[in-house]
Amino acid sequence: MVTFTFDRTFRYDDITVELLFQLVLIVPSGAVSLREHRACCDNDSDFNKGGARDLSEGLVEMRSIPELNEALAESETRPVLFFKHSLTCPISSRAFNELQSYIDSAGAGLSYKLIVVQTARSVSNEIASKLRLEHETPQVILVRNGREVWSASHYEVTAAALKEAIGKIN
């Protein structure tokens, strides 16, 4: 038997939630216990309490509407890419890895912002409202001059798609 366990505490609208995810797979060769830290939506980042954190070179987590307003104002001088991420969704984890892959190979000139829906629900709702977009997670939103110029969600979020979309506005 292979046992996979993921547990993480995070803040969701000021309520502490303890996640415990356990998947048991029967393997004929015997029992093995495995603790995987890069599991579903963990992404080697510490999403505990606290302020904004740099999660990748240039990727900054946003937690407040004033931070969102500052980022939208920043889009007047350079493009801003927002990534709405769910800590509990494996599709979002895959999209996050695609974003990190793109950022690792990208040049300067863009600002990258992370919105974790479990810890910044009001920010997630506000950006959807301000840009008149339907909320989706995962979702990338490329903003220039305060307006959405491109967005993608779920399996459409790839390093190649990001490179193509960003290449068109630079």
**pLDDT score at 150:** 96
CB burial of 120-135 (b: ≥16 within 10 Å; e: otherwise) equals beebbebbbebeeeee
User: For the whole prediction, is pTM greater than 0.85?
Assistant: no
- Kindly state whether residues 130 and 85 are assigned to the same domain: yes
Is the pLDDT assigned to residue 159 strictly greater than 60? yes
Strands 54-56 and 15-25: unpaired
- Kindly state whether residues 14 and 67 are assigned to the same domain: no
Length of the chain: 170
Strands 139-144 and 80-85: antiparallel
| Count of domains observed in the chain | 2
Question: Is residue 162 in a domain?
Answer: yes
How far apart are alpha carbons 23 and 151 in whole angstroms?
A: 33
Residue range of the domain that includes 109: 54-169
Give the tokens for residue 13.
Answer: 């609208």
Average pLDDT over residues 101-122: 92
- Kindly state whether residues 63 and 131 are assigned to the same domain: yes
- The H or E element that residue 146 is part of is none
